[in-house]
Amino acid sequence: AFAAGTNGERKQVDNVAHRGASGYAPENTLAAFDKAVDMKADYIEIDVQQSKDNELVVIHDTTVDRTTDGTGKVKDLTFEQLRALDAGSFKGEQFKGEKIPSFDEVLDRYHGKIGILIELKAPELYPGIEENVAKELKERHLDRPQNEKIIIQSFNFESMKKTDALLPKVPIGVLTSSKAQATEQSLKAFSAYADYFNPSYGIVTKEMVGQVHSLGMKISSWTVRSQEAADFLLDMDVDAIITDYPDYVDPRK
């Protein structure tokens, strides 16, 4: 996608719909992902966790309390129990009946249609989740970057090192909102296994963008929920903007 920078130039920036187009539809549901496709975003961002019976599911919080009509921890509920929940109504009655998607359902429905930025959310709670994700990608030949726009990211750096070893051709991102993890030394350490350094926008500076680029990595920043934040990141020349509102990054969308 090309977006207009405040200096009037048009720069290439990937428009990433955060948990889908979650400003407009319930986060991490097919409704939000379909909306992102309709809005011509370049990627959807999804949060992946694991059910009690080891099925990969797409949900942000480690409990179902905020976004569904159920209660409890994702890891204590079976896939069947998770699928019985209403994951749409919290955003409005018109979304009633949206379900927590399975990871394989999202891959099958969207690969080839839109890029998928996969976040492993709290992988420390789910031993073996990296292998499980790798298996699903390999089964679909989605572990080859020349075919597909697939990226895997996490706040858990050990999990990303492991994922890089399991899926050497899939781009890896490290997430942080800490300035202390953006020193030259730590950026250099990330660059040994990561392709993206993905900070919250509050810590982004032009100098940081330059350092990340000079280490051969790209930079994606989050989470845009205002036009001002989108304009700031466009000005910073980041490579991708992770936003609840894809139209803030490119008004034509």
Point out the residue whose Cβ comes nearest to ligand G3P.
222
Bridge pairing between strands 218-224 and 240-243: parallel
Asked if residues 49 and 122 have their Cβ atoms less than 8 Å apart, the reply is yes
Residues 99-158 that bind ligand G3P (CB under 6 A): 119
Supply 15's token pair: 């428009």
- Count of residues that interact with ligand G3P, criterion CB under 6 A: 9
- Choice from 54, 89, 132, 223 touching ligand G3P (CB under 6 A): 223
Picking from 50, 20, 216, the residue whose alpha carbon sits closest to that of residue 124 is: 50
Residue 213 among the catalytic residues: no
From the list 44, 70, 74, the residue with the least C-alpha distance to 59 is 74
**Distance in Å, CB of 7 to ligand G3P, minimum:** 26
Using rule CB under 5 A, residue 119 touches Ca ion: yes
Kindly state the tokens that stand for 60.
Answer: 């942000």
Active-site choice (18, 111, 141, 213): 18
Query: To the nearest whole angstrom, how small is the minimum distance from the Cβ of residue 88 to Ca ion?
Result: 19
State which of positions 159-198 bind ligand G3P (CB under 6 A): 175
Least distance in angstroms from the C-beta of 176 to ligand G3P:
10
Contact 78, 72 (CB under 8 A): no
Taking the complex as a whole, the smallest distance from the CB of residue 27 to ligand G3P amounts, in Å, to: 9
Position among 14, 34, 45, 244 found at the interface with ligand G3P (CB under 6 A): 45
* Distance in angstroms (rounded) separating the CA atoms of residues 2 and 12: 5
User: Considering beta carbons, is residue 10 or 129 the nearer one to ligand G3P?
Assistant: 129
- Cα end-to-end span (Å), the chain: 10
User: Does 111 participate in catalysis according to the annotation?
Assistant: no
Residue 240 burial class via C-beta count within 10 angstroms: exposed 0-12, middle 13-18, buried 19 and up: buried
Q: Which residues bind ligand G3P (CB under 6 A)?
A: 18, 45, 47, 60, 119, 175, 222-223, 242
